[in-house]
Amino acid sequence: MRKRVLGKSGLEVSELGLGCMGMSFGYGPPKDSREMLGLIRKAVEDGVTFFDTAEVYGPFTNETLVGEALEPVRKDVVIATKFGFRFDQETGKPAGLNSRPEHIREVADASLRRLRTDVIDLFYQHRVDPAVPIEDVAGAVGDLIRAGKVRHFGLSEAGVQTIRRAHKVQPVAALQSEYSLWWREPEADILPALEELGIGFVPFSPLGKGYLTGKIDEHTSFDSTDFRNTVPRFSVEARKGNRAVVALLEHVARRRAATAAQIALAWVLAQRPWLVPIPGTTRVERLGENLGATEVVLSKEDLLEISDAVAGIQVEGARYSEAAQRMIDR
């Protein structure tokens, strides 16, 4: 698989990464750990070198899974994880944000143990904490970098001004935020700022949380623990109303002898050379399909047709619940 470098950081990774969240959290019950270990190792065999996890996924169990899966090949892969939440001591569930420097140091040590490694390649602040100046956060991660526990600093779902302030204190290697054909907001301000500053971009949900694969419609039912039940964009009405986006992808896919998912990923890959999507999956066949997107080359005409068509489609539904939206930094 070809490699890409995230901005000016020098951090080189496979041009498609693997988001591991859904293996343990978010999309229904946790999947069988043996199967997920096999899936992660299959991704390594197929050339993936970039793996994304976080302490909150599980919580904690996803880091443990990723650590076990990648320990035998640790020197050949890049592991990204995240800090920034606090947890209820009784339930163990997320209970708000916490990016105090002392807490960041505690999370780093705990993540290192779960990941079975002596260094975290990319350490993201998972969500901007309005109670803690971003300069303090960047300084704390900078201390961890100087201590040899972390290699690179990242931000997730941060706004332009927050990115700029953090970058002055400790260079930001990458921003992770949602980006896909049905969520193009980063194009307005985020992508130009990242290009100016030399920061890489790691789009999560490049397949629209599964919707852009064409496998989800108004008749699809989700497990009661699937967070998409709380997302307005996944209401029955929105799923029905947003089929125009999928129809467009399927139209181009037929012409390119590809799948809708591969066209959606190829479109994201074509946007910037310093951008690395991290689609997630829990199925080996879907992993193969996603990786096949790296061989789909969209022409200028294809890209123009897709962009023009999507610009004329009104996507229905907010991408997050109101509670989750309040955690997004502007």
Torsion of CA 29, 31, 32, 38, to 10 degrees: -170
Q: Which of 57, 124, 179, 211 is catalytic?
A: 57
Question: Burial code of 123-150, b = ≥16 C-beta within 10 A, e = fewer?
Answer: bbbbbbbeebebeebbbbbbbbbeeebb
| Long-range CB contacts for residues 100-108, cutoff 8 Å, separation at least 24 | 100/129, 100/132, 100/136, 101/132, 101/136, 101/137, 101/139, 101/140, 101/143, 104/137, 104/140, 104/141, 104/144, 105/140, 105/143, 105/144, 107/55, 107/83, 108/83, 108/144, 108/149, 108/150
Question: Burial code of 24-33, b = ≥16 C-beta within 10 A, e = fewer?
Answer: bbbbeebbee
**Two tokens, residue 113:** 């143990």
CB 165 within 8 A of CB 189: no
- Cα 83 to Cα 38, 106, 124, 325: the distances in Å are 26, 10, 6, 18
Active-site residue 320, yes or no?
A: no
Catalytic sites, residue numbers? 57
